[in-house]
């Protein structure tokens, strides 16, 4: 129906499909697909008689552990079996299942808490999957199952998370090694080095002569053996007291630093450095990043790309090979996108449109007719995907021109594939019976 299409287009642009009023329909799709890839799943909920949705992150979908009960097999296996005491349904990872294994409700935290396993009854709510009166969804649980009886989504990068961790650690290690080499120019070598093992002995000797704390008790007595030129006679004038010879040369912490301190000489531009006798300077040769760093990153990236089902060129956003190889990578990525898009349309896009159509026309044509029309419009709707990147539009236009001449495609299909819109100057098609209704 034209009225439904026009109102849906307006609602999509005015952010009325988002209950918070922050995102338009395109941004809601981006949010949903990104969270489905990163977190595994995402939930959108609405209230009855409304068509606006609220996005809920996946970690708020959790089982109500307060209604756990131990059965004998569960106790033997060490697993808690969660049962909804009102209807006897099983609850698995926040998803309530009936006897046939069909999802009937989700248990969602009202807000994120620090200890979800200690959730109370007033902190969590049960939201049915479908409206019992109309059968339209009240909750959209968006994820891509990979195996039978899977009720929660798996992130896209879960198969390669360990490889990504190793790659991140390797990059950090190479970066730290390169920064360390960049901070040191070289080392000063000597023919008469000071043995580091003798340094503690020298330090202990200085601690005996000069207290590290610097606090000395003046009890009127002095050790003449370790304190030369110090008079033992009392003198009211402190300025007349002689100063110990070694304290003139070494003063507390300064003496310790002079005894045991690697002689680091700063090297700056326009300065001549003087080295002591028997000393030489050796400059470091930069060896980081490793010469095999780039090849290692390329190899691991190819492994990660094959694991997630994407070409390495698309994953790295680097198309440095030939035109044929780059286009083959884009086409292969397009096939992967098509699989995800088909599932995403059936789980999110089409239900949102059907709910909007029903809520828009139910007051005009009645509930039963509105339900039938909304389902029909949703099944007949065609969702256009963004066109694939055109590496060489001239070459691709020539290929599509040949396909048009051979009758394989029409001008509209070619224009949609290359430019993302219909052919210019072509009249709009006549409205169908559904649109006339």
More confident residue, 91 or 65: 91
**d(Cα 393, Cα 116) in Å, to the nearest integer?**
53
- Read off the pLDDT of residues 201-257 as tens digits, 9 standing for 90 and up: 444 544 444 444 444 444 444 444 444 444 444 445 555 554 444 444 444 455 445
Say which range, 152-166, 296-310, 354-368, 390-404, has the weakest mean pLDDT. 390-404
**d(Cα 237, Cα 288) in Å, to the nearest integer?**
64
Q: Does residue 427 fall inside a structural domain?
A: no
**d(Cα 97, Cα 211) in Å, to the nearest integer?**
76
Q: Does residue 67 fall inside a structural domain?
A: yes
Query: What pLDDT, on a 0 to 100 scale, did the predictor assign at position 226?
Result: 45
Percent of the chain with pLDDT over 70: 71
**d(Cα 216, Cα 222) in Å, to the nearest integer?**
11
Say which range, 141-155, 261-275, 314-328, 402-416, has the weakest mean pLDDT. 261-275
Pair 184, 282: CB distance under 8 Å: no
Q: In sequence order, what are the residues at sequence separation of 6 or more whose Cβ sits closer than 8 angstroms to the Cβ of residue 246? A: 209, 210, 228
Mean of the per-residue pLDDT values for the chain? 76
Query: What pLDDT, on a 0 to 100 scale, did the predictor assign at position 222?
Result: 46
**d(Cα 197, Cα 236) in Å, to the nearest integer?**
45
Task: Please give the tally of structural domains in the chain.
Answer: 1
pLDDT at 290 over 50: yes
- Read off the pLDDT of residues 339-386 as tens digits, 9 standing for 90 and up: 888 889 999 999 999 999 999 888 888 888 888 888 888 888 877 777
Q: Does residue 73 fall inside a structural domain?
A: yes
Q: What is the mean pLDDT of residues 324-332?
A: 85
Q: Does residue 263 fall inside a structural domain?
A: no
Q: Does residue 54 fall inside a structural domain?
A: yes
Q: What is the mean pLDDT of residues 6-13?
A: 88
- Buried/exposed code over 78-97 (b: 16+ C-beta within 10 A; e: otherwise): eeeebbbeeeebebeebbbb
**d(Cα 40, Cα 159) in Å, to the nearest integer?**
12
Q: What is the mean pLDDT of residues 90-98?
A: 90
Q: What is the mean pLDDT of residues 123-152?
A: 91
Q: Give this prediction's pTM.
A: 0.67
Query: What pLDDT, on a 0 to 100 scale, did the predictor assign at position 391?
Result: 72
Query: What pLDDT, on a 0 to 100 scale, did the predictor assign at position 195?
Result: 52
Query: What pLDDT, on a 0 to 100 scale, did the predictor assign at position 248?
Result: 40
Q: Does residue 406 fall inside a structural domain?
A: no
Query: What pLDDT, on a 0 to 100 scale, did the predictor assign at position 229?
Result: 46
Q: Does residue 230 fall inside a structural domain?
A: no
Domain containing 83 equals 2-148+339-380
Burial (Cβ within 10 Å: 0-12, 13-18, ≥19) of residue 113: middle
More confident residue, 274 or 136: 136
Q: What is the mean pLDDT of residues 94-104?
A: 91
Q: How confident is the model at residue 289 (pLDDT cuts 50, 70, 90)?
A: confident
**d(Cα 346, Cα 196) in Å, to the nearest integer?**
73
Q: Cα 389 from chain centroid?
A: 25
What interhelical angle do 25-38 and 323-344 show, nearest 10?
A: 100
Q: How confident is the model at residue 282 (pLDDT cuts 50, 70, 90)?
A: confident
Q: Does residue 126 fall inside a structural domain?
A: yes
More confident residue, 231 or 268: 268
Query: What pLDDT, on a 0 to 100 scale, did the predictor assign at position 66?
Result: 76
Region for 385 from its dihedrals, namely left if φ exceeds 0, alpha if ψ lies in -120 to 50, beta otherwise = beta
pLDDT at 129 over 90: yes
pLDDT at 124 over 50: yes
């Amino acid at each position: 129906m034209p009225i439904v299409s026009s109102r849906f287009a307006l609602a999509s642009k005015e952010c009325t499909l988002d209950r918070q009023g922050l995102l338009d329909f395109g941004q809601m799709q981006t949010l949903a697909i990104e969270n489905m890839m990163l977190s595994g799943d995402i939930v959108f909920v609405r209230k009855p008689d409304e068509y606006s949705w609220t996005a809920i992150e996946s970690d708020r979908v959790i089982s109500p552990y307060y209604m756990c009960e131990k059965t004998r097999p569960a106790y033997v296996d060490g697993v808690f079996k969660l049962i909804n005491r009102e209807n006897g349904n099983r609850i698995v990872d926040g998803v309530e299942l009936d006897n046939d294994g069909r999802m009937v409700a989700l248990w969602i935290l009202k807000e994120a808490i620090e200890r979800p396993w200690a959730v109370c009854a007033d902190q969590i709510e049960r939201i049915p999957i479908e409206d019992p009166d109309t059968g339209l969804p009240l909750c959209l649980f968006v994820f891509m199952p990979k195996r039978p009886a899977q009720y929660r989504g798996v992130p896209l990068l879960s198969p390669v998370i360990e490889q990504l961790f190793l790659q991140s650690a390797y990059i950090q290690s190479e970066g730290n090694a390169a920064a360390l080499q960049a901070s040191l120019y070289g080392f000063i070598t000597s023919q008469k080095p000071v043995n580091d093992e003798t340094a503690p002995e020298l330090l202990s000797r200085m601690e005996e002569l000069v207290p590290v704390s610097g606090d000395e008790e003046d009890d009127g007595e002095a050790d003449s053996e370790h304190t030369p030129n110090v008079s033992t006679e009392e003198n009211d004038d402190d300025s007349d007291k002689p100063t110990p010879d070694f304290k003139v040369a070494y003063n507390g912490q300064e003496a310790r630093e002079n005894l045991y301190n690697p002689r680091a000489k700063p090297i700056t531009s326009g300065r001549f450095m003087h080295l002591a006798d028997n000393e030489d300077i050796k400059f470091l040769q930069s060896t980081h990043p490793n010469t095999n760093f780039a090849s290692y990153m390329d190899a691991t990236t190819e492994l990660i790309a094959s694991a997630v089902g994407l070409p390495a060129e698309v994953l790295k956003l680097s198309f440095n090979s030939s035109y044929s190889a780059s286009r083959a990578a884009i086409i292969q990525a397009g096939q992967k996108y098509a699989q995800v898009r088909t599932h995403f349309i059936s789980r999110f896009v089409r239900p949102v449109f059907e709910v909007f159509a029903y809520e828009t026309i139910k007051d005009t044509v009645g509930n039963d007719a509105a339900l039938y029309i909304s389902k029909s419009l949703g099944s007949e709707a065609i969702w256009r995907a963004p066109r694939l990147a055109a590496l060489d539009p001239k070459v691709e236009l020539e290929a599509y021109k040949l396909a048009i001449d051979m009758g394989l495609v029409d001008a509209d299909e070619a224009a949609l594939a290359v430019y993302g819109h219909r052919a210019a100057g072509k009249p709009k098609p006549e409205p169908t019976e559904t649109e006339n209704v």
